[in-house]
Amino acid sequence: MRALWLLILVVAVPVGLAGQPHQADPAGPGDPVEVFADLDGSWQGVFVGYDAAGRELYRIRVRQTYRTIDRFRQVVEITDTMADGTVITGHGTNTARRVAGGGLRLRCVVEKSNGEKVEHDGRVVRGPDGLEQLIWYSNEPGRVETFRERVHRDGDEMVYEINGMGRYGETLILMSGRYRKIANTNP
């Protein structure tokens, strides 16, 4: 089971967006990377996986720091702390490119300290609240993942949420993460 939940950890990394204004960043208005801008900064929270019957499989403390670096890319530094205290770090890059017709091609690549490398494609969708959100997906032998991400205000706090599912071999896992924006400090 340990190998399975280590594989699942990468799902906590990809990013979302919000339908709310965001802080200025190095990219200009209308640049493709603006789709990720609401995540710039540091986030902390919990990511949980459940089996098909709703039993908790794992609970991970997560810290992620995102930074836009140019018109097309955002980088993320990740620290995942398992229930047993094991720490896995990672580095990822989100890219956004305009395609014919004005749409965006989104891609997330994450490399973790345990040797895992995971890639996801993404698209912008309109969520139930009518605001833009991201859907990330991958379909590789033995592993299929789809999840929805969004950033939104909850009272005085900015919240980053992930909800999704993955199939790993024959095992189905429901995943949910909730992170709060924290003051920027060195990770």
Note the pLDDT tens digit of each residue in 91-129.
999 999 999 888 899 999 999 999 999 999 999 999 999
Q: Could you give the 3-state DSSP secondary structure of residue 68?
A: strand
Task: Provide, rounded to the nearest whole percent, the portion of the chain with pLDDT above 90.
Answer: 76
pLDDT, mean of residues 168-182? 97
Residue 17 falls within a domain, yes or no?
Answer: yes
pLDDT, mean of residues 59-71? 97
Residue 14 falls within a domain, yes or no?
Answer: yes
Residue 39 falls within a domain, yes or no?
Answer: yes
Instruction: Give 56's strand partners.
Output: 50
Question: Which of 123-128's residues contact partners 24+ apart within 8 Å by CB, and which partners?
Answer: 124/17, 124/35
Residue 117 falls within a domain, yes or no?
Answer: yes
How high does pLDDT run on average in the chain?
Answer: 86
Question: What are the tokens at 40?
Answer: 């710039």
The pTM (predicted TM-score) of the whole model is: 0.81
Residue 27's pLDDT is: 55
What CATH number did the domain enclosing 38 receive?
2.40.128.20
Q: Which of 83-87, 97-101, 145-149 has the lowest mean pLDDT?
A: 97-101
Task: Compute the distance between CA of residue 182 and CA of residue 158 in angstroms, rounded to an integer.
Answer: 9
pLDDT higher than threshold 70 for residue 12: no
Q: What would the DSSP string read from start to end of 81-111?
A: E-TTS-EEEEEEEEEEEE-GGG-EEEEEEEE
Task: Compute the distance between CA of residue 65 and CA of residue 43 in angstroms, rounded to an integer.
Answer: 6
More confident residue, 24 or 72: 72
- Domains in the chain: how many in total? 1
The residue range of the domain holding 145 is 2-182
